[in-house]
Amino acid sequence: MALLLACFAGASVAQSAKSRQAAGDDFMYQYSIIDALMAGVFDGDLTIGQLKKKGDFGVGTFNRVDGELLIDKGRVYKVAWDGSVREASDSDSTSAAFVKFFKADTVIHLNGPGLTYEKVQEQIRHLLNPNGIYALRISATFPTMTTRAEKPAVKPYTSLPDHLKHNQVVFELKNTKGVCAGFLLPPYLARTNVPGFHLHYLADDRKSGGHIFSFTADSLTIEVDMAKGFTIENNTNAEFGKVNLQPDRGAELKKIE
């Protein structure tokens, strides 16, 4: 396995400093928290138009968990349960989204053959700091790529694991070229977000995508953008104030990731 690491600005991978962005731009932003989504808070009040002002890159879902959301280069895409991809309207709303203004401060090239998602995760973890907050943009041709999207929920909503049990559709993509967008987050962001890797996929031809379960690749370009911090905006939907956020849903979350 060959690894080529290009690290801008001569800083170490884990501590590369950035002064090129306004302070607020180098923070990750999220609307709502993962535990509220897990508990069934499937509607939010943030529009896609508003979300775009918080970041030009990231992942999330839509109201009613109607598909998987991916933002790349300022464009917001919806991967629907039937596998189709369309650009989201600014008037759509999200119940949970995690975004950042993306500007790579590190680029990692990984060469296989036969790299799996697990092996790629292992390599990235080896290079980055376990306590850092990272946005990751991975470009490659994938011999195999397994993703999911889900059918929208109807009220009364159940929990996310219960909803996925009956409404998740899995896509087995072959020889697909595209971009994985998402985050590698530290353990202290459990409950608010997904600790570890959380990536969504979008094919370059905009014909497939979804929440990534696994992939294989022979050669990948991994752009890394370390965040200085993290902003959580609470979901203002009344349901957010009603759900029980006391239990630790970490084990449940791992099962559906």
Interface contacts to a copy of itself, rule CB under 8 A: 14-15, 24, 27, 33, 35-36, 129-133, 186-192, 228-234, 236, 238, 240-241, 243, 245-246
* Beta-strand pair 46-47/93-94: antiparallel
Shortest CB 145 distance to a copy of itself, Å: 30
Q: Rg of the chain's alpha carbons, rounded to an integer? A: 17
User: What is the rounded distance in angstroms from the CA atom of residue 17 to the CA atom of residue 226?
Assistant: 9
Cβ distance to a copy of itself smaller for residue 195 or 210: 195
Rounded to a whole number of angstroms, the minimum distance from the CB of residue 161 to a copy of itself is: 17
Shortest distance in whole angstroms from residue 152 CB to a copy of itself: 24
Q: Cis (ω within 30 of 0) for the bond into 156?
A: yes
Task: Give whichever of 206 and 228 is closer to a copy of itself, judged by the CB atom.
Answer: 228
Please identify, using beta-carbon distances, which residue of 200 and 249 lies nearer to a copy of itself: 249
Quick one: 91 or 131, whose CB is closer to a copy of itself? Answer: 131
For the CA atoms of 84, 85, 87, 88, what is the dihedral angle to 10 degrees? 60
Torsion angle of the four alpha carbons 24, 120, 207, 31, in this order, in degrees rounded to the nearest 10? -30
Q: How far is the CB of 41 from a copy of itself (least distance, A)?
A: 10
